[in-house]
Chain A
Amino acid sequence: MTELAIDIENLTKDYPYGFLHLKKRRSLESLTMQVQAGEVFGFLGPNGAGKSTTIKLLMRLIFPTAGSARILGKPISDIEMHRDIGYLPEQPYFYDYLTAAELLDYFARFHDFTAAERRERVQRMLKKVGLESAGRIQLRKYSKGMLQRVGLAQAILHDPAVVVLDEPMSGLDPVGRREVRDIILELKKQGKTVLFSTHILSDAEMLCDRVGVIVGGKLQGVGAPSELVGVKAQGMEILFELPADAASGGELLAQATRTGDRYRLQVEESGLYTAMERLGAAGAKILSVTQVKPSLEEYFMHLVEADRAQSAAVEVRAK
């Protein structure tokens, strides 16, 4: 049996609301989920699904209504557990009167490093997240993307065995996203366990050994990305340009949508080569061909509807 890095059992969270906080809204419903040591686990769900709630419960920032969790075999109430975990909060914000280097040094002081080790680590981490040249700038002058990078640096500063990242790619440009992906893959190579939340399907597909899908506070399923989100491609999209002197593309062109000089054409997978040949004959310059997948929203809608249909079926049977 492989060792469990994170073991969540029946974790439930109600948020009070309304007058005198008398009413309660359930945001997480009896979540039971395991993350194996050494795996990259994607926690996937639309906004408001309960991903951050789960992560904050694990980090002891909020306390559960019911249930329990263990990290690396220790109950999360044990402060020792915090020595071996790293955490990137959602939309992180840090002391804006500090520079990035000062912030990392401050956080490093809570671990048992010597001054020399701290200095070396801070520089290494700044370099890793691409902020070496900005290390001496106060954080109040940082952009959202830069703060996200600082957040990532402080999460992995002390070489933790378990890294928990809440929406690590949000607020980043494509280059930044790739860098974060590279860091996650590097952590995996080092044998670390990574749990990260996202509402972006492709990020999860690209990185995760397994994903857990959560909708409306309920876990819908856990499995390899291909099992869960291996939704059939809806077709192929061809992106092309048409020189001014080109022959008319005929009916194909009529189906394409034009943005600026470029055209997008969506075709069935089986009709891809025919379409490309005809575009080629018409003198079109093909720029890219990509699979069209349902968006995560569509995928989640499908899950939610399936959930409803099932409960409706149960109700009918009960009658």
Chain B
Amino acid sequence: MTRIGTVALNTFREAVRDRVLYNLVFFALVMMAAAILVGQISIGIEQIVIVSLGLSAISIIGLLISVFIGVGLVSKEIDKRTLYALLAKPLRRWEFILGKFAGLVLTLTVNTAAMAAGLFLALFYVKRSLEQADTVVLIAVYFILLKLALVVALAMLFSCFTTPLLAILFTAGLYIAGLFVHEMRGLQGGLIDPMLGRLLRWISYLLPNFENFDVMGAAAHGRVIPGALIAQNTAYAVVYCAIVLAVAMAIFSQRNLK
């Protein structure tokens, strides 16, 4: 456990020193510009504009970091041969994978928390107050974080057996497919061949369901998010990550380094 934590903290340190957190400057600029603009129009849509824009930015920036750094977590250590000395230490390969995963999730958590704080600042600036109902924005941010953890796990899995470029494509492909699982399930009604419909339905259950993590509409309009959805999404992300990481660990444990 301490070994996993050691790898995780070093991964976090790497991200900080490689200036990954500089994206926050970009986010801050976007939020500031939006807040000032909305402040001038001010026709009662401040909440919607700021929350939608903020959550979209948090999601997109997080996704970029998850995919690009997630794919490099393991492959970069192999390519640069930094892994050789490390694996000669009493560190199991699965502990390394888990540590790397935890390190990037920690980085994303810090990054996302900072962006969420920025979002609330902007919201406070345009509304001059915050309400109880705004906590729904926090839940939306939490869902984004769950989604990002899942993306990191997938990126790591692919990078364990293909080239970084292919791993990026696979992860992006799965993410996009995962946004349309409901549509895939809805396709069967007579429109297409029933066999194909059944196949798509099967596939839709294997795909990571990213649709459930999107509550931007509810957050923007201050609607309540049911507690059951929070529990369901949390459990889904934990179980799905566990399965994906277990496969990644199994593959990586067999792998010959160059």
Contacts and interface: CB of A to CB of B under 8 A. Distances in A.
Nearest to B93: A60
Given A63-B256, A151-B85, A97 B90 contact: no
A82 B89 contact: yes
A56 interface: yes
Contacts of B17: 97
Contacts of B10: 95, 106
A106 B85 contact: no
Interface residues of B, number: 23
Contacts of B2: 109
B249 to A, nearest CB: 14
Contacts of B14: 95, 97
B132 interface: no
Contact of B81 (A86, A92, A111): A92
Counting contact residues on chain A (CB < 8 A from B), the size range is: 20 to 34
A313 interface: no
Contact of B254 (A61, A63, A92, A109): A63
A54 B10 CA distance: 30
A236 to B, nearest CB: 43
A26 interface: no
Nearest to A138: B17
A253 to B, nearest CB: 51
Between B6, B82, B92, the greatest number of chain A beta carbons within 10 A of the residue's beta carbon is seen for B82
B6 A56 contact: no
A59 B81 contact: no
B29 interface: no
A91 B257 CA distance: 15
A173 B2 CA distance: 39
Given A63-B254, A97-B18, A110 B3 contact: yes
B33 interface: no
B235 interface: no
A106 B6 contact: yes
Interface string A131-156: 00000000000000000000100110
Nearest to B256: A62
Contacts of B128: none
Interface string A51-66: 0000010011111000
13 contacts: A56-B257, A60-B87, A79-B90, A82-B88, A85-B88, A87-B88, A89-B84, A91-B81, A93-B80, A97-B14, A107-B85, A109-B3, A151-B85
The 8 closest A-B pairs by CB, nearest first: A87-B88, A89-B84, A110-B89, A97-B17, A62-B256, A82-B90, A109-B6, A61-B257
